[in-house]
Amino acid sequence: MSRMSIAIGALALTLSMPAFAQTATTPPAGGAMTGPSSTSSSMSSMTCDQMMAKEESMAGNASGARLTAMQNHMSMARQAKAKGDEAGCKTHVQMAMDAMK
């Protein structure tokens, strides 16, 4: 009796695995991806100045700790930009955007 319930449980788990495998991100029929992947890929083609302008427009919706974190990262982004570090600037702007979520 115990072996039968274990076998049925194992069979149920085996059959449910394809349902879990379908949770991977795949592009919809239109071809364009939505969600975090598309955001990061579109951000990578932007310059740091463009990303900073976008973040500044989002800043009006924040308050408290999120606003402070965003301002700190934007400050570090400006410092990186002043040093000519485009990648560092982009990284900090992306962190500022993530802090707004």
Question: What pLDDT, in 10s, does the model give residues 72-86?
Answer: 999 999 999 999 999
Flag whether 3 is in a domain: no
73 lies in which domain range?
Answer: 46-101
Flag whether 11 is in a domain: no
Flag whether 100 is in a domain: yes
Residue type, 82: A
Flag whether 28 is in a domain: no
Q: Interhelix angle for 64-82 vs 48-58, to 10°?
A: 160
Flag whether 18 is in a domain: no
pLDDT value of residue 14 = 65
pLDDT value of residue 94 = 92
On the question of pLDDT at 15 being above 60, the answer is: yes
Domain count of the fold of the chain: 1
pTM for this one? 0.55
Band (pLDDT 50/70/90 cuts) for residue 43 is low
Flag whether 22 is in a domain: no
Flag whether 15 is in a domain: no
For range 34-49, the mean pLDDT: 61
Q: Within a 13 Å sphere around the CA of 32, how many CA atoms are in the beta-carbon half?
A: 4
Question: Would you state the structure tokens that stand for residue 22, as one six-digit string?
Answer: 């379908």
How far apart CA 98 and CA 101 sit, in angstroms, is 5
How far apart CA 60 and CA 6 sit, in angstroms, is 56
Q: Work out the percent of the chain whose per-residue pLDDT is above 90.
A: 24
